[in-house]
Amino acid sequence: MDITFLGIWTNEQGEISDNWEVSTLMLYPNGYLNINQNGEYTKHYYADALRIASKIGTGFSGNICDSAGVIENAYPGYLSDRILKQNEVMQNELYEVALKNPSATLNFVNPYSDFCSIGSGGQETGLFFYHADHLGSTGMVTDINSQVTQGYLYAPFGEILQEYASIDNRIPKYAFNAKELDEENGMYYYSARYYAPPTFISRDPMFEKYPSISPYTYCMNNPVGFVDPTGEDVEIICPVTGNKIPYTPGMTIPEGASDFVSNSINSLNAMNLTDNGGIVLGELVGSSNMFSITNNTTSVEGTAGFKGNEAGGGTLNMGSNTSLLDFSHELFHGYQHEHGQGGASIFNEVEAYLFSDAVNSQYNIDAGRGYSSGSYSISRNYGTENSNSFNKSMDALLNGQTFSNDNFNNVVNLFKSESGANTNGVYNNYPLRRSNQTKNLLERFYPLIR
């Protein structure tokens, strides 16, 4: 919105009048549409998160009041109520922008005499396609006849060095990294922050985690190799350089990646190939919270662990544990945390062990290597009543077609004394269950192995 202050006038009664004019207005009803004050709209089409096309249109043509009359006759008062409500919302927002004195008032002047007739229409042919590079940056825009209508040449950090436009194109500029270039201020809109190449204009909200990096830096000064995920991703942190590598399902290993990064990507891709693993991984990748993967170790030597953030998201401290079994276990803890059921407990460990064992087994079965099971699922004791009961319940949970509360609760109660995962007593101080853990999240993934 572009609001211009026109001046201050005083009338004969000594009343002061501030005059403002709204000259440029862009509305964003949702992520797929934006509309300007002339009624021209741009509708966007996506393939997953990638914007591939935009359509320019002017919407309805003819006499809009005739159509409005039909609606008003069918639903008396509906349109007038909506008009009053919208007018109230816009007035409140303009009051916040324009007035410092809470007792002052605004008088609105309508410069348009007739909103009914909005002109003739016809077939809308304004469909344009984006052609992006490996960073998502738009290189060319073509029309429905495959003619190039726009082209961009960028500096490494996103400054537009040269722009080609064959027509007066009204498409909002989704240029560098497919982010919208706000033509009023010349900056890119990155949801959480504005980016004025080569730096952000406000600091990274997670700057305390990376004290060696400027909080205003874009992609750790590597704009050709990385893109900023705006917090909506799972990222792998390189143990050598500290670079944050956003993970996307099925991605290839970057050139020169460390063993930790390479092994992590391989295991995440393997997890994504299984039905249940892909569901959990996809939800965490698509979350508005950040999940980071590091080679840091936990307080228990040689083990991996998930540490949730109070505000959402968290960190997987994997150490050297980068197998599919390890990743699917810790990522399920992330999934539990995402659903409000985080926290160390036997209940959560049993869910995570069952899930990771099933994902690992499913991947091996699909690859033709057969079923495999971890030591945690077999009692470390032999021949006792409890060991037989534990083994029977574990087998039913892993291989059954439906989830059984009775078998699950039995495993939770016997886990400390029977599971091979607790041979060293690492779980002895864990509570069986926490008050926030009210649902069996694992139930929605049955059957675990298919």
Q: Distance of alpha carbon 233 from its chain centroid, rounded?
A: 6
> Is the CB of residue 228 less than 8 Å from the CB of residue 217?
no
Give the Cα separation of 263 and 261 in Å (integer): 6
Q: Quote the tokens at residue 248.
A: 């996307």
Mean pLDDT along residues 58-64:
61
Give the Cα separation of 171 and 42 in Å (integer): 7
Mean pLDDT along residues 50-60:
72
Nearest residue to 176 via CA among 201, 200, 156: 156
Q: Which residue segment(s) compose the domain that 338 sits in?
A: 231-445
pLDDT at 413 over 90: yes
> Is the CB of residue 88 less than 8 Å from the CB of residue 81?
no
Mean pLDDT along residues 176-181:
83
The 3-state DSSP class for residue 208 equals helix
Peptide bond into 223 cis (omega under 30): no
Q: 140-161, pLDDT tens digit by residue?
A: 888 888 888 888 899 989 888 8
Radius of gyration of the chain (CA): 29
| Dihedral sign, Cα of residue 441, residue 443, residue 446, residue 448 | positive
216 is a domain residue: no
Mean pLDDT along residues 380-390:
91
Who has greater pLDDT, 3 or 267?
267
- The pLDDT-based confidence of 206 (bands split at 50, 70, 90) is low
Who has greater pLDDT, 23 or 445?
445
Sequence-distant (6+) residues with CB within 8 A of 16 are 8, 9, 10
pLDDT value, residue 431: 95
Give the Cα separation of 150 and 163 in Å (integer): 7
Q: Which amino acid is at 272?
A: N
pLDDT at 113 over 60: no
pLDDT value, residue 231: 37
Winning range, highest mean pLDDT, from 129-133, 253-257, 264-268: 264-268
pLDDT value, residue 392: 94
Local structure of residue 63 (DSSP, 8 states): B
The 3-state DSSP class for residue 180 equals strand
pLDDT at 67 over 90: no
13 is a domain residue: no
CB atoms within 10 A of CB 159: 13
pLDDT at 332 over 80: yes
How many angstroms separate the most distant Cα atoms in the chain? 102
Q: Quote the tokens at residue 112.
A: 């348009």
pLDDT at 179 over 90: no
- Give the number of residues written for the chain: 450
396 is a domain residue: yes
pLDDT value, residue 264: 94
- Among 17-26, 174-183, 253-262, 293-302, whose mean pLDDT is lowest? 17-26
239 is a domain residue: yes
- The pLDDT-based confidence of 232 (bands split at 50, 70, 90) is very low
pLDDT value, residue 180: 82
Q: Quote the tokens at residue 310.
A: 């109070």
Give the Cα separation of 304 and 311 in Å (integer): 22
Mean pLDDT along residues 344-364:
94
Tabulate helix, strand, coil % of the chain (nearest 5): 30, 25, 45
pLDDT at 130 over 70: yes
Q: Within a 13 Å sphere around the CA of 413, how many CA atoms are in the beta-carbon half? A: 10
Give the Cα separation of 19 and 276 in Å (integer): 60
Rounded to the nearest integer, the mean pLDDT of the chain is 80
- The pLDDT-based confidence of 444 (bands split at 50, 70, 90) is very high
401 is a domain residue: yes
Nearest residue to 115 via CA among 34, 37, 35: 37
Question: Measuring CA to CA, how many Å separate 341 from each of 59, 397, 437?
Answer: 47, 20, 5
- Give bridge partners of residue 16 from the DSSP assignment: 10
pLDDT at 54 over 70: yes
305 is a domain residue: yes
Question: Measuring CA to CA, how many Å separate 434 from each of 117, 347, 400, 438?
Answer: 63, 8, 26, 8
The 3-state DSSP class for residue 207 equals helix
- The pLDDT-based confidence of 311 (bands split at 50, 70, 90) is confident
- Among 82-86, 393-397, 405-409, whose mean pLDDT is lowest? 82-86
Give the Cα separation of 270 and 284 in Å (integer): 16
Instruction: Calculate what percentage of the chain has a pLDDT beyond 90.
Output: 30
Who has greater pLDDT, 102 or 29?
29
- The beta-strand segments (E) located in 74-170 are 126-132, 138-142, 148-154, 160-165
374 is a domain residue: yes
**Angle 160-166-167 (CA atoms, 0-180°, nearest 5)?**
105
Overall number of domains in the chain = 1
Mean pLDDT along residues 76-99:
75
- The pLDDT-based confidence of 357 (bands split at 50, 70, 90) is very high
Q: What angle separates helix 346-366 from helix 405-418, to the nearest 10 degrees?
A: 100
> Is the CB of residue 399 less than 8 Å from the CB of residue 382?
no
Nearest residue to 281 via CA among 366, 361, 349, 355: 355
| Dihedral sign, Cα of residue 276, residue 282, residue 285, residue 289 | negative
- Among 143-147, 151-155, 332-336, 417-421, whose mean pLDDT is lowest? 143-147
Q: Quote the tokens at residue 199.
A: 């730096």
- The pLDDT-based confidence of 337 (bands split at 50, 70, 90) is very high
pTM of the model: 0.52
pLDDT at 341 over 70: yes
- Among 67-71, 201-205, 377-381, whose mean pLDDT is lowest? 67-71
- Among 3-7, 137-141, 144-148, 348-352, whose mean pLDDT is lowest? 3-7
pLDDT at 331 over 80: yes
Who has greater pLDDT, 178 or 142?
142
Q: Quote the tokens at residue 268.
A: 């995440």
- Give bridge partners of residue 291 from the DSSP assignment: 234, 314
β pairing state of 26-30 and 126-132: unpaired
Mean pLDDT along residues 429-443:
94
Nearest residue to 183 via CA among 170, 202, 165, 192: 170
